[in-house]
Amino acid sequence: MPKQGTAKVAIIGAGYVGSTTAFSLLFSGVVGEIVLVDINRAKAQGEAMDLSHAATLIRPLKILSGEPRDCAGADILIFTAGANQRPGESRLDLVHRNARLVQEALPEFIHYCPDALILMVTNPVDILTYVAWKVSHLPPSRVLGSGTVLDSARFRHLLSLQVGVDPRNIHAYVIGEHGDTEVPVFSLANIAGIWLDEFPLTKGTVDRDLFKADISHQVREAAYEIIQRKGFTSYGVALALTRITEAILRDERRVLTISSVIHDLYDINYEVALSLPCVIGREGRISVLPLPLAPGEKLALHRSAETLREVIETLKI
């Protein structure tokens, strides 16, 4: 394990998400070197220069742009390259464009970084996590996707507004696809140890079923709403990636809803990548937690998995 602040992280793609993630990592204290790689080399160079100047105001940190060979020795490869989601476009609509990119680009990075953990971000992240796993020939524990880490944060944020409690005191997860079939797990949500169904809601909220339906809708639509207004998302996902990176490099054994390839878990008897609460540490995914889901939630998770499997089958990889 690298010493605190000495790890090397390579970010593939210097667009909104990649560059914002690099900026967020400046403050983490766990990274000593960041390499930005982009097909637009001038863009990567400019971002590296700007970030290097910013790092001077924080702490010594090596930031450079480069090519796959410059990523040699990286502890984590963060893959953000790909076509952006357009207004009105679902994450699954991106699949064929971005799957080809992963198949073409990732092997060269793996060649130079055979020991790195892979952290996929490009959408549709669950499908591309599966593609990256196939392309890399690494065990599922070492190929992670950002999954529903941000969705779970949005879930806790919206719950906090309704119950009037700091979201850091709320435990609640979104599982399944990072997308339209994702599953907010209300049955296990709790506020400071009190089950959500037993916690008093804000004045004026009388129908808990409508309350849950509204929260679910807002969580699913959040990214679309942001993209419609500003054209892209960046801050939330960048901080989610920083949290995942910290959990890995500090070997925190932190529970995060990352996406990874599973088989014969939750009665899903085929290989598919989706999000579940996982213990994350230096070796990547250490374990997948067996949530005691309510029957309706388990059924919704199976529908989500089946949706992803149908798309994977169209890729023929």
Residue 16, annotated as binding a ligand = yes
151 known member of a binding site:
yes
On whether 13 is known to bind a ligand per the annotation, the reply is yes
18 is in an annotated binding site: yes
Distance CA 152, CA 156 (A): 6
Longest dimension (CA), the chain: 59
261 bridge partner residues? 273
156 is an annotated ligand-binding site residue: yes
User: Is 68 annotated to bind ligand?
Assistant: no
Query: Which of 111, 157, 178, 217 is the catalytic position?
Result: 178
263 annotated to bind ligand: no
Give the Cα separation of 85 and 154 in Å (integer). Answer: 19
98 annotated to a ligand binding site: yes
Q: Tell me whether residue 38 is annotated as binding.
A: yes
137 is in an annotated binding site: no
85 is in an annotated binding site: yes
152 is in an annotated binding site: yes
User: Which residue carries 């939630």 as its tokens?
Assistant: 297
User: Is 82 known as a binding-site position?
Assistant: yes
Residue 178 annotated as catalytic: yes
HSE at residue 285, side-chain half, CA atoms within 13 A, is: 28
At which residue do the structure tokens 């996707």 appear? 145
What residues act catalytically? 178
Residue ranges for the binding site? 13-18, 38, 43, 82-83, 85, 91, 98, 121-126, 146, 151-154, 156, 171, 233
Binding-site annotation: residue ranges for substrate: 85, 91, 123-126, 151-154, 233
Known binding-site residues for NAD(+) equal: 13-18, 38, 43, 82-83, 98, 121-123, 146
Write out the binding residues for beta-D-fructose 1,6-bisphosphate: 156, 171
